[in-house]
Structures are given as structure tokens and as C-alpha cells.
Amino acid sequence: MNTYWLSWYHDIDGPDFDSTTPYHSSGDSHRFESGRYVELDCICMAVDATSEDEAKAYVHGLYEAPVELEWRFCDEKHYGWGPLRDRFPYGAQSQP
């Protein structure tokens, strides 16, 4: 088991995800694609999982509808690693 520090672009006009899971919005991004202006939120989250695929599957499972995600990064950390506690005031990790 390891902890994975993941980040992805969340389309704010797309399906929502379970916001009770600890996460951090590190900013926003914008782009024009397929004839529409897309506003994206850059989300970061720590997830305990046995593999990168399992960690990403956990994030996909948080969404209320299937969604294709554009990953910014997925960094493997030691088990129990956590981001700065000011980003996650309760110090919780997300576990599948």
C-alpha cells in the first residue's frame, strides 16, 4: 500500500464529484475546445491505494457520472504521506 498524490483537471460544467472527500483546488485553467469555452479546476487529492491504477479508479468513482479525466500528475509517495495540513484541515486521506 502506498499513498498517491494525484491532480487532474475538473470541468466545472461537467459531472460533479463527491466533495466530502478531502481535496485541494490549486487554481483554474481555461481552454477553447470543440467549439466551446471550457473552465477547468485543478484538483489535488491524496489517496491510499495499492497501485496508480487503483488510485485513479478511486477518483473516477467519486464522480456522479462517468467522465474522462485529464491527469496532471500521479506521484507515488510512502504510505501515510500527507499534503500540507493547511490544505486538508482534518488531515484525512482518501482510501478506496
Q: Which three cell numbers mark 2?
A: 502506498
How high does pLDDT run on average in the chain? Answer: 85
Model pTM above 0.85:
no
Q: Among 10-19, 50-59, 65-74, whose mean pLDDT is lowest? A: 10-19
Q: Smallest Cα–Cα separation from 61: which of 90, 18, 19, 26?
A: 18
Structural domains of the chain, with CATH: 2-77 (3.30.70)
Give the tens place of pLDDT for each residue, 30-45.
888 888 888 999 999 9
Q: Smallest Cα–Cα separation from 44: which of 15, 78, 3, 80?
A: 3
Choose between 25 and 92: higher pLDDT: 25
Rounded Cα distance, 33 and 40, in Å: 12
Decide if pLDDT at 55 tops 80: yes
